[in-house]
Every structure is written in C-alpha cells, then in structure tokens.
Amino acid sequence: MSYLSKPIARCLPRRPLAATLCFLLILSFALTACAPAGTVAPAPAPAADQPPPAPTVQVEELGTGQIELNMWDGIAASDGEILTQILNKCVAENPDIKVKRQIMDWGVYFDKLAAAIVAGSGGPDLFVLWHSVMPQYALSGYLQPIGQEMFDEGLLPRDDFSPELLDVLTIEGKTWTVPFDNYGVGVYVNLDLLEAAGIDPNEPPQNVEQWLDYAQRLTVDKNGKHPNEDGFDPDNVDVWGWAVDWPRATVQPALYQWGGDIISRDAEPKVLINSEQSVAATQFFVDAILKEHVAPKPAGANFNELFANGKLAMWPMGSWMYNFMNQQEGLNVAMWPYPPLGPERGATLMWSHTFAVGKNVTDAKLDAAKRIIKCLSDNSGTWTEKAGMPTARLSLRAGLADKVWTLPVFDKQFKAEGVPEFASPKFSEIMGAVEPAWSAALNGDQPVQEALDQAAERIQKALTR
C-alpha cells in the first residue's frame, strides 16, 4: 500500500434531575481538562500579566422556518464552517425549520450544557456529544434515545454504522445518540525528513524496534548527531523524531496494545490504569522522552509549529488535523497507521461526534430534529471530504479514498484494530484523574507507577460513589 500523499498547502500555523443534575454540573468542570484537541492549533498563551480571554460563543441563524431548533456544539474554525455548509443544505431542504446554532469552545461547552440542564431551561434541543460522555447524559434522564427511534422508524439504516460504535452508544437496549463521524488517531509523517534519513515512506514501522530505530534516525541535534551517537546533546535538538502530544490520543491506544486500559469494559468496571500492562505502556512513552531523547517533553512544546516548520518527523495525532495539514504550503506529508508498539495486539483509538436530543423535545420540534439529523448523516460524506473526519456511515466512504488522503489509512486500521474509547457515566471524573497523571509522568515530574496509582485511587472513588 502506498502511503504517499500529494504535497499540500502551507501558511503560517494557526494559533491558534435533582441530585443527578447537580452531579452533572460538578462533573462538567473536569471535562475542561479532557476536552479533545481542537481542529486548530492552540492559541498562544496570554502574557503573564494579562488574564486569559473569555471564550466566546458564536451564534449562527440558519434558515427562516417557523420551527426553531436550538443547536449547540463545539465544532469551530474551518471544521465549523464545513458543518455550517451542511446545515445550510439541510435547512434549504427543510424550509419550515430554522436552526439557531451556538458554537462554543469545548473547554466551556460542557459547563454551559450542565448549567442549562440544572436550570431546566435555555438549553439546546439538538446538540453534539462525544460518544465517551454520552452515558452521563443518558443515565441522568436528560436524553431521549434518538438513535433508537430513528433506526426503528427507518429514518437511518442501522447496518450502515459500525457495530462497535453503536455498541458504545447503546445502554439498556437503546441507542441514545446518532454518530456523525468515526475518527481517530494515526501518524502524520514529514516526507522530506523521512527521505533525508533514508526511510521509505511506504514502509511504516512493523514493530516497536523499527519505530524506535526510525525515531533515532530522525532525531538530530544542532551538531547533526543522533541520540545513539556519542556527543548527542538532548538540550539542543534541531529535529525531533517523534512527539508524545495529547496523551489521551497518543498514549491511550498503546494501553490496548499492552493489554491494558483505563477501566475495564464491564457492567461493574474495574480500574486498570495502574495495572502492570497500563504502567508498562505509559513507561514506554516516558522512556522515549527522558531516556531515549527521541521526543520532547510535552510541557511547553508547540507541536503544530514544530511539524509545520519541519522540526518534527512523526506526529501521532487525530483526524482533526487534516485541514491544518492541508494549509501548510510546501509541506510534504503523509499518513501512517498508529504504530504497533505493544506486545499483545495492534490497536488505534476511535471516537465519534454524536447527535443528541433533549428528552423534553416533542412534537414538531422532535420531528424537525430528526429531519436535521438525518440530513446531516446523509451528507456526512461532505464532512469527510472537506474536514477529513471519516463519516460514521460506512456506505458513504466509498469513492472518498482518492479525495481524502488520510482516509485509506484510517479506514483500514479502524476496521482491523480500532478500539472506541471507553464510555462511562463517570467519564469526566475518570479522565480528570488520568490526564494530570499522564502529564506528570511524561514531563518527568512524577514516577509512572506513583502517578498512575494516584489516578487509580481517584477513579476508584468515582466508580464507587
């Protein structure tokens, strides 16, 4: 299989209900820490003497119909524009519907959503949930099983969605939300840096030894030395072979490859983040940074800038970076599968943006919400073609492989070894414990076992509450 892609564009990198409902409000604050990476590069930090700017809410009014749907999501920037294009098509096809879309930063999205739930008013009719957090809202009684209803009514074909994805959206026999996409993690590679190191871009690493060999050959200090050579200076690296970026995307898939996970996928889940397997997987990444010196410490690193400027060769990251890559003029880039690093299996991580409908949406608004969701799903091939986010509709991926250079790799690996991120009613508390532990370990601030033991203790408390 060829992993070569066409050279693509370069611009300056972009900088970018009672007790249960109260419980949701508390949990929402943890989601700020585990929000997924945005579809744009992070904005530069404000000066030390300036407060960070307050996140803004962007409001769009689409269509002029009499039935108004209040829609919330966190899909912004260029990807948000693509979603708006699809929504404009949907309201044109349904002229009796008007969509008032509110777009928020994911860092505040769940806070506002939980506050609206607690208040009992002012919240959305139609909104986006990651599949991972869906159980928090379904089990709180806030959702109606819109996926189940649309499948049962023949509005959407159940067999056109991945069974693994629908499984994580199904609780007590009901599918609660409708998946829009099925995206995940691969490896973006700089073709020019690979060529300079004598690495064939059509030969992605087949095992951990080859991955580390590539990483050593690609990492070069200011004097032209590699980490396995005498005199290599880890404090003055010119080009990094590899990046351990957002650990939820880069470390979590490796847990599966070592036979671990964050929690087990049982009705009564067990804590696995500090298991022997999960510790070993995490230690592998820590050693790559602190011992092998083939990847920088995550703290303070701007991986978007490093990759855009030819200072990073292999970057495991998600589907959402597609448009960022397409905007880097003169940068020759291709996609590899997430590498086989662990001893147990190959695996990569999968997520989904899903459409949810509040339980109090009825009658004409409910019918309107179903029509808009159906239209969005039926047109999700456009989402793939323009945003690089693989549609959840399996039939719509046909014919897109030649148009979306990342899709063949994602599609093949997802089918063979994709693992959906765990979904849990305690998701935000769990990730709120894990991500700081990973950060402390990866930056050398805390031993892996100690950091993950502390995370496990917090997770156990959350699971037993």
pLDDT band (50, 70, 90) for residue 46: very low
Mean of the per-residue pLDDT values of the chain? 90
CA distance 397 to 390: 7
User: What is this structure's pTM?
Assistant: 0.89
Alpha-carbon torsion angle 381, 386, 389, 392, nearest 10 = -10
Q: Quick check: 149 and 356 in contact, CB under 8 A?
A: no
CA distance 417 to 184: 12
Mean pLDDT of 121-150: 95
Is the pLDDT at 4 greater than 60? The verdict is no
pLDDT in tens, 297-332: 999 999 999 999 999 999 999 999 999 999 999 999
Give domain limits for the chain. 18-183+351-420, 185-350+426-464
Is the pLDDT at 457 greater than 70? The verdict is yes
* pLDDT for the residue numbered 51: 55
SS3 134: helix
Residue bearing the bigger pLDDT, 25 or 396 = 396
* pLDDT for the residue numbered 309: 97
pLDDT in tens, 406-438: 999 999 999 999 999 999 999 999 999 999 999
* 222 burial type by CB count under 10 A (0-12 exposed, 13-18 middle, 19+ buried): exposed
Mean pLDDT of 436-458: 98
Give percent of the chain with pLDDT exceeding 70.
88
Find the range with the poorest average confidence among 30-39, 240-249, 368-377. 30-39
pLDDT in tens, 49-97: 555 555 689 999 999 999 999 999 999 999 999 999 999 999 999 999 9
CA distance 20 to 359: 15
* pLDDT for the residue numbered 399: 87
* pLDDT for the residue numbered 37: 39
Alpha helices (H) in 293-388, listed in sequence order = 303-308, 322-326, 363-378, 380-387
* pLDDT for the residue numbered 157: 98
Give percent of the chain with pLDDT exceeding 90.
84
Residue 426 parent element (H or E): none
336 pairs with which residues across the strands?
187
Q: What is the number of other CB atoms lying within 10 angstroms of the CB of residue 106?
A: 20
Is the pLDDT at 158 greater than 50? The verdict is yes
Buried b (16+ CB within 10 A) or exposed e, 308-342: bebbbbbbbbbbbbbbbbbbbeebbbbbbbbbbbb
CATH topology of domain 18-183+351-420: D-Maltodextrin-Binding Protein; domain 2 (3.40.190)
Superfamily classification of domain 185-350+426-464 = Periplasmic binding protein-like II (3.40.190.10)
* pLDDT for the residue numbered 53: 57
Domains 18-183+351-420 and 185-350+426-464 fall in the same CATH topology:
yes
CA–chain centroid gap for 248, Å, is 8
CA distance 444 to 438: 10
Structure-token pair, residue 46: 């404000």
Mean pLDDT of 444-450: 98
